[in-house]
Amino acid sequence: MNAADAASRGTRQRLRFAVAVAGAFAFVALAATATVLLIAADLDPSQRGALSSMLAEHAPSVVVAALIALAATALLLRPLWHRYVTAPRRLAEDVRIMLAANPAHRAAPGGAREMAALATAVNAFADRHAELARDVDRRIADANVRIEEQRNRLAALMSELAQSVVVCNGEGRILLYNARAMQLLRKPLDGGKAGGAHSLVGLGRSIFAIFDRNLIIHALDTMHERRRQGLRNPVASFVTSAPGGQLVRVQLAPVAGGHDAAGFVLLLDNITRQLESGHRRDQLLQSLTQGTRASLASMRAAVETIASFPDMDKDARGRFIGIIADEAGKLSARLNQTVTEFADSLRTEWPLEDIRGADLIAAARRRMEARLGLPTKVEDVDDSIWLNVDSYSLMQALTYLAARLRDEFAIREMRFALRAAGTLAHLDLVWTGAPLGFETTMAWQSDALEMGGEASPLSLAQIMERHSAEMWYQIDKPAQREYFRIALPRREPEEPPAQPSPATDSRPEFYDFDLFHQPGQSPELDGRPLAALAFTVFDTETTGLDPSHGDEIVSIGAVRIVNGRVLEQEVFEQLVDPHRKMSEEASSVTGIDDSMLEGQPTIDRVLPAFLAFCEDTVLVAHNAAFDMRFLHLKEESTGVRFTQPVLDTLLLSAVLHADLGAHNLEAIAERMGVNPIGRHTAVGDAIMTAEVFLRMLPLLAEQGIRTLGQARAASERTFLSRIEY
Amino acid sequence: MAKRILIADDEPNIVASLEFLMKQKGYEVRVVDNGKDALDAIASFTPDLVLLDVMMPAVGGYEVAQQVRANPAWAGIRIVMLSAKGRDVEVSKGMAVGADAYVTKPFATRDLVAKVKELLGE
């Protein structure tokens, strides 16, 4: 309520009070007049004349009496008015405020006793209501926290999984994935030679860009069929090749949601190596059987021939003995070759896992310190060594040795070393001060492991055999150290382990459940609200500023915005060999020099990958015209066309702040409160532009610019006006 | 007249023993080391029995056997297949393409000689 309203309402109230007073006075006056008239009717004419003359004579007194009556009426009416009219009106006003504006407001008890009681009752009611509302709010907040916790737990869990996981909605758009999946589903840019790869996984992207649509639809059909047959947990699986060429076993399971499946989960296993090793085992078997058979046949025939014909002449006998020697030599050579070539395949099938040697040692140290109370140290550990082990049994073995050394030789400290030795790794358990006898070490190796009531059916020797490892005891006299050395095959890690996500509190961006409600993206984008679109925000670095005179792109960085979030884990970052020198200015601004660009993929390889990254999105860049010019000049030579709609943060900034002069990225970022990070790298600039762009969206909405079409129209107007001036 | 035996195998070490054995048993022996020569020799030498290795360069033993069986004029020729492939599928393929016997390497020479004699009706 504003001041004018209040004033007019006050005036109205006074008017109504005046009317009420006038009404009451009129009633009293009427009553008095009526009394006079009644009395006059009873009088005879002479008395009536006397009365009227008396009244006329005392007219002023009558008027004064009337005025006194009026004042008395007003005085009498005033408290009554206050108690029975003003008080309920105030109460009504208070209730309105409580309802509409401020639930914490309370009515001031006033007016008659009944009115005060009513106000108190209303207040009590309001208290109760506020309490309820607070309770509801608290529950909602609790529920939200729980949901957020569950989501984060799920995301954390998935990031720990050794399997690759991708969750899609019913349309095949990716809602959730883990870092492993991102790694597995990379596509190398240059046949894998010159490095550089981009992941095809991304929130909101289509899974059909990665796996053949028909393959997945077939699997979905199979799954539905199984479900129809009443199977509780239908799963379909198939083997296919990933974009990077690896063979992948895909298991597909539905995501339950109401009656229909709301989507599906893909579990991916890279089985390339398994298949390879299976194939090698086949080869081994063949080479052993066929090759051996032929040689044995020749030898046996020769031997039997000699035996059957003891009288054969010297030459013939010599020839047959030569054959035997020859074939025996061939057999030996083949055996040696087989053992070296197929060493991996000859190993007993036992579930072994890849682990970094340093991690294994760290775990073993923790275990020794916790179980045995033995202090441990690290002597020399090569961080780059990977092993393929059953880490549980190997750790048991190490702990067992340490326990016996402590119990039987009073060793008070264990040390670890890990070094590479050819194709092997030497894992040493080192101590000082107690030379062991030959028989002791032999006995320890064949005894079943037992310590602290925890027994294992295996002996050290068996554990070593399981790892294709050998173990022995050695004394290094000059250094006064003794050790058990375990020599075991080193393992090249199959793929670099998932990078641990940077330690930030921000929630991981590998999932976005809001995409469950995302309709398919169509080319008819203009009518769609900006907030609902996916964007690729990008930046290029170039050898110079003049593309038409031969300047070239040397770096493309891009990041995507989906559902109003910058997905910083899904970046495109690629250096490009421009086949020409960087200008000095460009080198100093970008920090990119010619040596960094040598051997990088060329633009005709990079642009198709970048186009794939931009699929289904609107492009955003700062001073987009510059970047787009470079891209468009390459259309002819690369055949890659960027036809997506483009928004320019420079123009949008001009739309928002026409009167503020500077529209360079730094100035806008400062105005918008965006911290500059990694400036003048393509990705750094792209991320900064993305943040700026996101903060512009609400400001644009205030100006009524909500859809892509409106944003583009506004940009165009600004652009024209800037050209005009 | 001595029966004729053609030995087709590309491994000289086994051929040496086979040739010696067969000659000692009184057969007339000729040796070739590939399938193509084997077919030529079958035409010119007209053996009564062929000791046929499965794995030979150019034309393999299976093909030789098939071509022999495709020609009615050679219906009387006995074929003994010798092979380092000993799996059931390979044995059954050998018999299917027309071998009279399939002998897996290594074998006892005595058994082979017995088999040859049996097939030649001696």
**Predicted confidence band of residue B26 (pLDDT cuts 50, 70, 90):** very high
Position A517 scores a pLDDT of: 41
User: Taking the CB of residue A402, how many other CB atoms lie within 10 A of it?
Assistant: 25
Q: Tell me if B60 is assigned to some domain.
A: yes
Residue B86 is classified by DSSP as: -
In this prediction the pTM is 0.47
State the maximum Cα–Cα separation within chain B, in Å, rounded to a whole number: 38
Q: Of the candidates B83, B108, B119, which has an alpha carbon nearest to the alpha carbon of residue A308?
A: B108
Q: Between the CA of residue A463 and those of A362, A449, A668, B112, what are the distances in Å?
A: 20, 10, 64, 48
Position A498 scores a pLDDT of: 46
Residues A688 and A575 in one domain: yes
Q: Tell me if B11 is assigned to some domain.
A: yes
**Candidate from B17, B84, B85 with C-beta closest to A302:** B17
Closest chain A CA to residue B112: A301
Q: Tell me if A550 is assigned to some domain.
A: yes
Q: Of the candidates A395, A400, A390, which has an alpha carbon nearest to the alpha carbon of residue A444?
A: A400
**Candidate from B14, B24, B85 with C-beta closest to A301:** B14
Min Cα–Cα distance to chain B from A378, Å = 55
Residues A557 and A700 in one domain: yes
Residues A565 and A711 in one domain: yes
User: Taking the CB of residue A629, how many other CB atoms lie within 10 A of it?
Assistant: 14
Residues A655 and A692 in one domain: yes
Position A213 scores a pLDDT of: 80
pLDDT in tens, A70-120: 888 888 888 888 888 888 888 888 888 888 777 788 888 877 888 888 889
* A77 reaches B (C-beta below 8 A): no
User: HSE-up of A621 (CA within 13 Å, CB side)?
Assistant: 23
**Predicted confidence band of residue A280 (pLDDT cuts 50, 70, 90):** confident
pLDDT in tens, A550-605: 888 999 999 999 888 888 878 888 899 888 888 777 787 777 888 888 888 889 88
Residue A86 is classified by DSSP as: I
CATH no. for residue A289? 1.10.287
Average of per-residue pLDDT across A491-517: 47
The domain boundary residue, chosen from A346, A369, A390: A346
pLDDT at A60 over 90: no
Q: Tell me if B19 is assigned to some domain.
A: yes
Q: Tell me if A549 is assigned to some domain.
A: yes
Residue A565, C-beta contacts closer than 8 angstroms, at least 6 positions apart: A509, A512
CB spacing of A297 vs B106 below 8 angstroms: yes
CATH no. for residue B8? 3.40.50.2300
Residues A289 and A302 in one domain: yes
CB spacing of A299 vs B24 below 8 angstroms: no
- Do A554 and A595 meet the contact criterion of CB atoms below 8 Å apart? no
More confident residue, A469 or A295: A295
CB spacing of A298 vs B109 below 8 angstroms: no
What is the spatial distance between Cα A135 and Cα A155, in angstroms, rounded to a whole number?
30
Q: Tell me if A145 is assigned to some domain.
A: no
Position A720 scores a pLDDT of: 59
Q: Tell me if A125 is assigned to some domain.
A: no
* A326 reaches B (C-beta below 8 A): yes
Q: Tell me if A705 is assigned to some domain.
A: yes
Q: What is the DSSP string of A107-166?
A: PPP-SSHHHHHHHHHHHHHHHHHHHHHHHHHHHHHHHHHHHHHHHHHHHHHHHH-SSEEE
Position A377 scores a pLDDT of: 93
pLDDT in tens, A262-275: 788 898 888 777 76
- Which residues in chain B touch residue A308, judged by CB atoms under 8 angstroms apart? 21, 24, 109-110
Residues A90 and A209 in one domain: no
Residue A672, C-beta contacts closer than 8 angstroms, at least 6 positions apart: A691, A692, A695, A696
- Which residues in chain A touch residue B20, judged by CB atoms under 8 angstroms apart? 305, 309, 312, 316, 320
Q: What are phi and psi of B110, to 5 degrees?
A: -60, -45
**Predicted confidence band of residue A499 (pLDDT cuts 50, 70, 90):** very low
pLDDT in tens, A549-565: 788 899 999 999 988 88
Range of B83's domain?
4-116
Cis bond leading into A243, ω under 30°?
no
Range of A552's domain?
521-724
Which among A11-25, A402-416, A435-449 has the top mean pLDDT? A402-416
* A304 reaches B (C-beta below 8 A): yes
pLDDT at A193 over 70: no
Q: Tell me if B121 is assigned to some domain.
A: no
List, in sequence order, every residue forming a beta bridge with A263; answer none if it has no partner: A169, A255
Residue A497 is classified by DSSP as: P
* B109 reaches A (C-beta below 8 A): yes
**Predicted confidence band of residue A469 (pLDDT cuts 50, 70, 90):** confident
Per DSSP, the three-state class of A273 is helix
State the maximum Cα–Cα separation within chain A, in Å, rounded to a whole number: 194
Position A232 scores a pLDDT of: 67
**Candidate from A294, A305, A326 with C-beta closest to B105:** A294
List, in sequence order, every residue forming a beta bridge with A389; answer none if it has no partner: A353
Q: Tell me if A130 is assigned to some domain.
A: no
pLDDT in tens, A122-161: 999 999 988 998 999 999 999 988 888 877 777 777 777 7
> Which tokens sit at A594?
């010619």
CB spacing of B106 vs A290 below 8 angstroms: no
Q: Tell me if A156 is assigned to some domain.
A: no
Q: Tell me if B8 is assigned to some domain.
A: yes
Residue owning tokens 């925890």: A454
Q: What is the DSSP string of A338-378?
A: HHHHTHHHHS-----EEEEHHHHHHHHHHHHHHHH---EEE
Mean pLDDT rounded to a whole number for chain A? 80
Q: Of the candidates A347, A341, A335, A345, which has an alpha carbon nearest to the alpha carbon of residue A292?
A: A335
Residues A553 and A630 in one domain: yes
Give the pairing type, strands A261-270 and A247-256.
antiparallel
Residues A663 and A555 in one domain: yes
- Which residues in chain A touch residue B54, judged by CB atoms under 8 angstroms apart? none
Q: How many structural domains compose chain B?
A: 1
> Which tokens sit at A290?
């066929």
pLDDT in tens, A300-352: 999 999 988 888 888 989 999 999 999 988 888 888 777 777 665 555 456 67
Q: Tell me if B42 is assigned to some domain.
A: yes
Q: Tell me if B46 is assigned to some domain.
A: yes
What is the spatial distance between Cα A603 and Cα A582, in angstroms, rounded to a whole number?
15
Q: How many structural domains compose chain A?
A: 5
Closest chain A CA to residue B20: A305
pLDDT at A180 over 90: no
What is the spatial distance between Cα A544 and Cα A2, in angstroms, rounded to a whole number?
61
Looking at residue A404, its amino acid is R
What is the spatial distance between Cα B99 and Cα B42, in angstroms, rounded to a whole number?
15
Residue A296, C-beta contacts closer than 8 angstroms, at least 6 positions apart: A327, A331, B105, B106
Q: Of the candidates A265, A488, A248, A250, which has an alpha carbon nearest to the alpha carbon of residue A387?
A: A488
Q: Tell me if A123 is assigned to some domain.
A: no
Position A656 scores a pLDDT of: 81
- Which residues in chain B touch residue A327, judged by CB atoms under 8 angstroms apart? 13
Min Cα–Cα distance to chain B from A314, Å = 14
- Which residues in chain A touch residue B86, judged by CB atoms under 8 angstroms apart? 289, 293
- Which residues in chain B touch residue A289, judged by CB atoms under 8 angstroms apart? 84, 86
**Candidate from A293, A302, A326 with C-beta closest to B105:** A293
- Residues of A with catalytic function: 680
Q: Tell me if B37 is assigned to some domain.
A: yes
Min Cα–Cα distance to chain B from A340, Å = 23
pLDDT at A501 over 50: no
